[in-house]
């Protein structure tokens, strides 16, 4: 029987270099395990423990696949060719509390949050006694742990709770998730915080991460680890979801300035080269350290978006211009047909090797920052349409037909929605975008190559996914989302 990680959260630390500057994932090999509860007694061990938190994040159960893929599979952007059964309950908008996908997102999300909480608690207790030479390193590790815990809570609250804001409506008082501000011990009773309380914790963690990065003045020098720029980038996303539009703009500006990514690429070869594999995407702020030797093979996102049956929906294809450079990564298998498409894995193509299992998950990226600025400038209390257009143009020029802001249609918000679909496809944002905009969505694409839907005009903002049944049956205090099944369309 599966044991939910929220009940028994002892873990191993990872051995290896505490401050690795390489882009490979040598730090994620568990070869020198020490007990999380007794061995956080030195700055070096705190560093090893942070590597362990990255390992939990990196797993295909969480950011390495399931939690990242979830937001696009459960949307209008994906098409399932029926050849395999991966993610089908999610794609068909018929979730099951016994779903392995929901179970593992919950399970590994709490591994990230609880392990990070242990690092934060031990590091804070150590801070007053460490030497001046060690203090910057400890602050850096704590900054990473705060950012990792924020990322974990953010994923969990968006998958398992109501969207916090839905086109101006506030759902902060609805049930959220279990917030891990303090490490949990085995058999400890827990309870769900509200959505608003969960977001408060996320904001607190990100602000503390930024403060600590600024205080220590250092990071690990590789985008496979959180740094100040990526912490600001995640904060921009969180504030956009909270409809704190000015805050989202400020955070996006900080992320862009610190990353130095002020422009994007616009031709086919340069765009395709972003997805050669490893750390090839120089438009990214934070990504997983997936390589030809450290990857999830059949459990990778690249496999899901190829031999495991998923591809861009006919709808998404219809809104992507034929000469848009983002189509440069849209290859198709030789067995693909119009009615049974087999995608070549898109952004997970790892084109340098041609093995899509080696495709990197890019989690926080500069194009999103420009799109956040575009939407936030248009939706803030005193809209700035010119600023919105300027930010939008940076991304929209991927379509060579768009060369200036005069090429945008009159309905700018509709264009921003479509541009987020085009640019952020396969990055896991679409479900949450549809929910927070409160648009009536068409879902469960069928009938390729035609644009057809099994469900039409679904109020997707009402859909709230169930807490995994194993967690409910554990009777440790977590309650189920009431009448969750009534929020989904009927087959």
pLDDT at 36: 53
Q: Which stretches within 260-411 are classed as H helix?
A: 268-273, 301-304, 314-318, 366-379, 385-396
pLDDT at 14: 36
Domain assignment present for 355: no
Q: Say which residue the tokens 């350290």 belong to.
A: 289
pTM of the model: 0.93
**Segment 360-382, tens digit of pLDDT:** 999 999 999 999 999 999 999 99
- Cross-strand bridge partners of residue 455: 443
For the four alpha carbons of 247, 248, 251 and 256, in that order, the dihedral sign comes to negative
Domain assignment present for 64: yes
Whichever domain contains 40, its CATH number is 1.25.40.390
Is the distance from CB of 447 to CB of 441 less than 8 angstroms?
A: no
Domain count, the chain: 1
pLDDT at 35: 54
Domain assignment present for 412: yes
Give the separation between CA 393 and CA 14, rounded to whole angstroms: 43
Domain assignment present for 292: no
Domain assignment present for 148: yes
**Segment 60-109, tens digit of pLDDT:** 999 999 999 999 999 999 999 999 999 999 999 999 999 999 999 999 99
Domain assignment present for 331: no
Residue 236 belongs to domain spanning: 26-266+364-487
What does 178-242 look like in DSSP terms, one character per residue? Answer: ---SS---TT----PPBHHHHHHHHHHHHHHHHHHHHHHT---SSTTS--HHHHHHHHHHHHHHT
Give the separation between CA 298 and CA 295, rounded to whole angstroms: 9
State how far the alpha carbon of 50 is from the alpha carbons of 16, 147, 288, 290, in Å.
11, 11, 15, 18
* Residues ≥6 apart with Cβ < 8 Å to 236: 248, 249, 251, 252, 255, 368, 369, 372
Going residue by residue through the chain (491 aa), what tens digit of pLDDT does each one get?
A: 233 333 333 333 333 333 333 333 223 322 234 455 567 889 999 999 999 999 999 999 999 999 999 999 999 999 999 999 999 999 999 999 999 999 999 999 999 999 999 999 999 999 999 999 999 999 999 999 999 999 999 999 999 999 999 999 999 999 999 999 999 887 788 999 999 999 999 999 999 999 999 999 999 999 999 999 999 999 999 999 999 999 999 999 999 999 999 999 999 999 999 999 999 999 999 999 998 888 999 999 999 999 999 999 999 999 999 999 999 999 999 999 999 999 999 999 999 999 999 999 999 999 999 999 999 999 999 999 999 999 999 999 999 999 999 999 999 999 999 999 999 999 999 999 999 999 999 999 999 999 999 999 999 999 999 999 999 999 999 999 999 999 999 87
Domain assignment present for 75: yes
Domain assignment present for 381: yes
pLDDT at 491: 78
Is the distance from CB of 63 to CB of 363 less than 8 angstroms?
A: yes
**Segment 282-311, tens digit of pLDDT:** 999 999 999 888 899 999 999 999 999 999
pLDDT at 28: 30
| Best CA proximity match to 360, nearest among 261, 420, 283 | 283
| Residue 255 backbone phi and psi in degrees, to 5 | -60, -45
pLDDT at 370: 98
pLDDT at 38: 61
């Amino acid at each position: 029987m599966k044991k939910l990680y929220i009940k028994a959260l002892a873990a191993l630390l990872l051995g290896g270099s505490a401050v690795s500057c390489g882009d490979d994932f040598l730090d994620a090999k568990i070869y020198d395990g020490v007990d999380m509860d007794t061995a956080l007694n030195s700055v070096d061990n705190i560093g090893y423990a942070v590597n362990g938190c990255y390992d939990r994040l990196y797993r295909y159960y969480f950011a390495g696949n399931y939690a990242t893929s979830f937001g696009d599979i459960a949307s209008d952007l994906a098409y399932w060719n029926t050849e395999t059964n991966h993610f089908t309950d999610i794609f068909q908008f018929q979730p099951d509390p016994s779903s392995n996908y929901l179970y593992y997102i919950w399970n590994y999300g709490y591994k990230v949050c609880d392990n990070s909480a242990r690092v934060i608690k031990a590091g804070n207790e150590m801070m007053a006694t460490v030497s001046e030479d060690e203090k910057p390193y400890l602050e850096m590790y704590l900054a990473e742990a705060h950012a990792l815990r924020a990322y974990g809570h953010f994923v969990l609250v968006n998958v398992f709770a109501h969207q916090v804001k839905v086109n101006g409506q506030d759902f902060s008082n609805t049930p959220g998730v279990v917030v891990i501000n303090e490490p949990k011990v085995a058999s400890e009773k827990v309870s769900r915080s509200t959505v608003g309380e969960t977001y408060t914790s996320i904001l607190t963690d990100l602000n503390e991460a930024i403060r600590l990065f600024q205080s220590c003045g250092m990071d690990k020098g590789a985008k496979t680890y959180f740094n100040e720029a990526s912490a600001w980038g995640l904060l921009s996303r969180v504030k956009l979801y909270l409809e704190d539009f000015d805050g989202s703009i400020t955070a996006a500006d900080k992320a862009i300035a610190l990353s130095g990514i002020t422009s994007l690429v616009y031709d086919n070869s340069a765009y395709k080269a972003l997805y050669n594999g490893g750390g090839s995407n120089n438009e990214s702020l934070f990504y997983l350290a997936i390589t030809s030797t450290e990857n999830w093979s059949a459990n990778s996102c690249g496999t899901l978006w190829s031999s495991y049956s998923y591809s861009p929906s006919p709808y998404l294809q219809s809104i992507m211009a034929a000469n848009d450079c983002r189509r440069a990564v849209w290859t198709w298998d030789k067995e693909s047909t119009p009615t049974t498409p087999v995608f070549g894995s898109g952004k997970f193509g790892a084109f340098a090797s041609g093995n899509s299992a080696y495709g990197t998950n890019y989690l926080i990226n500069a194009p999103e920052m420009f799109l956040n600025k575009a939407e936030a400038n248009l939706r803030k209390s005193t809209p700035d349409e010119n600023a919105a257009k300027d930010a939008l143009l940076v991304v929209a020029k991927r379509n060579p037909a768009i060369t200036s802001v005069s090429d945008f249609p009159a309905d700018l918000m509709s264009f921003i929605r479509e541009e987020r679909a085009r640019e952020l496809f396969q990055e896991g944002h679409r479900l949450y975008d549809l929910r927070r905009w409160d648009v009536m969505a068409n879902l469960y694409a069928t009938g390729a190559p035609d644009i057809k839907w099994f469900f039409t005009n679904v109020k997707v903002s009402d859909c709230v996914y169930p807490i995994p049944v194993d967690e409910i049956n554990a009777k440790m205090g977590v309650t189920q989302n009431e009448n969750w099944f009534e929020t989904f369309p009927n087959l």
